[in-house]
Amino acid sequence: MRLPRDVSGEDLATRLGRLGYRVTRQTGSHVRLTTERNGEHHITIPRHSTLRVGTLSAITADLAQHHHLDRDALLTLLLS
């Protein structure tokens, strides 16, 4: 699946709630989310209007590795 080009940081942070992530802190334009599923995991997301493709790719790779999913399954779960 191709990475979408129009995902905002705010939208991604909201969608990560499906995987049990919750906001634990915010510093400037970056928000840190934490989940307890499959062990504790932290991810930092910039709250920009549109995330760059490389940034979104790195975030999804980290999430997929932690949740033992391939990237396509993760994107389907988050973006559907």
Residue 70 resides in a domain: yes
Residue 2 resides in a domain: no
Is 51 strand, coil or helix? coil
Residue 46 resides in a domain: yes
* Strands annotated E in the chain: 22-27, 30-35, 41-46
* Residue span of the structural domain in which 65 resides: 9-79
Count structural domains, the chain: 1
Residue 34 resides in a domain: yes
Residue 4 resides in a domain: no
Question: For residue 80, what pLDDT is reported?
Answer: 80
Question: For residue 58, what pLDDT is reported?
Answer: 96
Q: Which residue, among 16, 18, 45, 49, has the nearest Cα to 32 in the 3D structure? A: 45
Mind listing the pLDDT tens digit of every residue in the chain (80 residues)?
789 999 999 999 999 999 999 999 999 999 999 999 989 999 999 998 999 999 999 999 999 999 999 999 999 999 88
Return d(Cα 4, Cα 23) in angstroms, integer: 23
Residue 15 resides in a domain: yes
Question: For residue 2, what pLDDT is reported?
Answer: 87
Question: For residue 66, what pLDDT is reported?
Answer: 95
